[in-house]
Structure 1
């Protein structure tokens, strides 16, 4: 059986072009949090950032036939996110406030592709640290990070209280936080996870 998590982006792109839903799910899993963090940095609004990322993956699936195997997938996804953020800002007519911070952000990262940024390395480090967590805590934290579930959804799925879920996530963050302190994006990621 094909192990999608071991495939590189180009191999996954080839499979997605053939409408392989499992390859698409792997890309979604691999890039959701990274892209969400970029959208959140630009928009400063969690709900808007989630909407942008939902649109990102809807767009990716709808355009999968036109993807080429040589595409830089991370750069392609980042470009879609950036364009969707600009569209959203335009729609909300809050250009003057947001475009200033967005222009500054884009200026700082002008010549960098997503691969040059540390978010992917941070996510790999985070995956490693999650794997080191004790059993129940690891399951809860994975549901929060990988499945993007709310405290309530996790509590219902595991038949435990919201308070227990919140405490386990908080404890996991305390264990992981020192290990990620070398990455510039970790405070934003941990803020998102603790919400």
Structure 2
């Protein structure tokens, strides 16, 4: 089975072939360990996250699709699990800035796709908001306009502008909470802490 491609192994896995699962595990656990350890700096936490990643693969074997290599998919699941553990305070990292720096260090072509998906999710959530709320948020976060400038442009009180931005952020936080995407989390963090 070692000579089979990831795509062929995933097909066998979707049929419940445990040997295909073992082959994929043997093929990628070392690379995944190195990747996750760079975030956690903790061997036990790293092993737990890798176990969760492969458990996720087994539980979702019917829906996983890759063109060539499974590794980018595994790294995405692993990064999401790192961020989930970080949010739950299971992993003690040196700080959010260092986590963000580490994540940005490992950008690759698949990250562009993930970023686009994250942006699409945020845009979708924004489209559900009423015009004033969406406009206040976009003018503030995407066009760097002050509360006063937005107030004049939209002919709303400054307090109404503040309330709309605050409510938009609250809704996006809820959206983040229901998503495990690291990129979505980072995108929202950027928007929340933007001056």
Could you state the TM-score of these two structures normalised by the residue count of structure 1?
A: 0.52
1:107 to 96, 104, 108: 104
CA deviation after TM superposition for structure 1 residue 70, in Å: 3.2
Q: 1:71 to 1:83 in 2, by over 3 A?
A: farther
2:5 paired residue number: 8
Report the Cα distance in structure 1 between the residues aligned to 2:87 and 2:43, rounded to whole angstroms: 18
Query: Deviation above 3 Å: which 4+ runs of structure 1?
Result: 69-72, 93-96
Q: Deviations over 1:48-67 (max 9, x none)?
A: 00100010111100000112
Structure 1 distance, partners of 2:27, 2:93, is 33
Partner of 1:66: 63
Q: Shift in Å at residue 14 of structure 1? A: 1.1
User: Out of 42, 45, 68, which is 2:42 matched to?
Assistant: 45
Contact (CA 8 Å) 2:40, 2:92: kept in 1 or not?
no
Number of the residue aligned with 1:55: 52
Distance (Å, rounded) in 1 between the aligned partners of 2:10 and 2:101: 32
Partners of 2:91 and 2:45 in 1: how far apart? 13
Quote the residue 1:33 is aligned against: 30
State the Cα RMSD in Å: 2.2
* Partner of residue 90, structure 1: 87
User: Number of residues paired by the alignment?
Assistant: 111
CA distance in 1, matches of 2:79, 2:109: 14
| Larger gyration radius, structure 1 or structure 2 | 2
